[in-house]
């Protein structure tokens, strides 16, 4: 079903195609070899609305474009919004795959409960992802050239003045072809341990993928990048001694056959890539522990990031270097999870959802 949409540009609005799942072109006009991690608007986005006390129904595909919000929308005034991130991959034979999309749906539902919001069902969420992928099929990069990043949003769009849940919610998905998240590509990252700013506090929303968690890290991230670092590694807000997260991804510490990662105790986001890496690592014979950790070999995981090696961590002007490259645990786990995601390695866990 194709919905109407509003244009805010001066030029005439193009009409939606009668069949958004087929554009007549196999691929969009993109230099896939130069693809980075930046917004490249695709053809369609998905939108569904829900009033307070009701359930989300069937949404619709509309042309990618601006949305109209009341200036008193809950998301604008009180930050009542959530987002997710997942990817669609193209196999060598052209088939399209999603990786564990139901986990994103569950995480959005959990976040919605914490933020007093209505949320789509798991089936609605996954079906909306499939519709968005098919409508933007020509934007899914060729096998080995990247992926189609999908950004589901849940927004309090109903008008409010006093502090209260919004009376209406909008579920929206847009997409963009992407490749490496960090400018370093697959090269090791250089992280800076931040002591002046906290990412999250206990009993807050650090474990929820709410939009309000991310703008507060920008100052520390910008300062670190100005000094030549890839990103910021945060400490816990109570003791300032334990590792927590990087700005937008989880972190792992490896030594020998033991892998450690901070426990999801309320301040750390339960990453889907994190969860998958833990299971894969155990399958490969590693002992994985979730607790307060020190540092030895370090790597990061996240949907946008994937599994990325960390080459150095700088803490109080002391720079520590870590093993990376061929033969590292990070490389082994990266090869396995990316192989499953792209259909190169057989999925024996039921993680892959085919889009057709």
Active site residues: 209
Distance between CA 177 and CA 46 in Å, rounded?
A: 16
What the block records as the tokens of 273 is 């890539």
- Strand pairing class (189-194; 306-315): parallel
Answer whether 291's CB lies under 8 Å from 169's CB: no
Cross-strand pairs, 48: 171
Looking only at Cα atoms, what is the longest distance across the chain? 61
What the block records as the tokens of 335 is 């090869």
Cα dihedral 92, 93, 95, 96, rounded to 10, equals 10
Answer whether 64's CB lies under 8 Å from 41's CB: yes
Question: First vs last Cα of the chain: how many Å apart?
Answer: 16
Distance between CA 280 and CA 181 in Å, rounded?
A: 22
Q: Other CB atoms closer than 10 Å to residue 244's CB: what's the count?
A: 21
Q: Other CB atoms closer than 10 Å to residue 102's CB: what's the count?
A: 17
Q: Which residue has the tokens 């109209």?
A: 68
Distance between CA 271 and CA 234 in Å, rounded?
A: 16
**Coil, helix or strand for 109?**
helix
Distance between CA 231 and CA 236 in Å, rounded?
A: 17
Q: Which of 219, 336, 317, 207 is nearest to 276 (CA)?
A: 336
């Amino acid at each position: 079903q194709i919905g109407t949409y509003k244009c805010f540009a001066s030029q005439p609005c193009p009409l939606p195609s009668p069949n958004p799942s087929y554009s007549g072109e196999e691929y969009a006009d993109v230099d896939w070899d130069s693809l980075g991690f930046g917004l490249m608007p695709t053809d369609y986005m998905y939108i569904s609305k829900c009033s307070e006390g009701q359930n989300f129904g069937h949404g619709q595909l509309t042309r990618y474009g601006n949305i109209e919000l009341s200036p008193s929308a809950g998301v604008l005034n009180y930050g009542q919004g959530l987002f997710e991130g997942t990817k669609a991959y193209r196999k060598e034979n052209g088939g399209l795959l999603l990786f564990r999309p139901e986990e994103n749906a569950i995480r959005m539902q959990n976040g919605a409960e914490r933020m007093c919001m209505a949320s789509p069902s798991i089936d609605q969420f996954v079906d909306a992802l499939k519709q968005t992928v098919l409508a933007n099929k020509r934007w899914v990069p060729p096998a080995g050239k990247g992926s189609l990043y999908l950004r589901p949003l849940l927004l309090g769009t109903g008008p409010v003045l006093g502090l209260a849940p919004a009376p209406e919610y909008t579920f929206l998905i847009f997409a963009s072809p992407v490749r490496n998240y960090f400018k370093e590509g697959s090269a090791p990252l250089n992280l800076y341990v931040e002591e002046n700013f906290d990412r999250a506090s206990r009993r807050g929303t650090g474990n929820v993928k709410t939009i309000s968690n991310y703008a507060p890290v920008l100052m520390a991230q910008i300062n670190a990048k100005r000094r030549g670092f890839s990103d910021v590694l945060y400490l816990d807000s109570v003791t300032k001694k334990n590792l927590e997260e990087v700005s937008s991804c989880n972190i792992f510490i490896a030594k020998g056959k033991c892998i450690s990662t901070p426990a999801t105790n309320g301040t750390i986001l339960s990453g889907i890539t994190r969860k998958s890496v833990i299971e894969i690592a155990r399958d490969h014979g590693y002992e994985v522990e979730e607790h307060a950790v020190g540092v030895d070999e370090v790597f990061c995981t996240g949907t946008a990031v994937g599994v990325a090696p960390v080459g150095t961590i700088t803490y109080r002007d002391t720079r520590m270097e870590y093993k990376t490259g061929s033969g590292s645990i990070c490389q082994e786990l990266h090869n396995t999870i990316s192989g499953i995601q792209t259909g190169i390695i057989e999925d024996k866990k039921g993680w892959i959802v085919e889009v057709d």
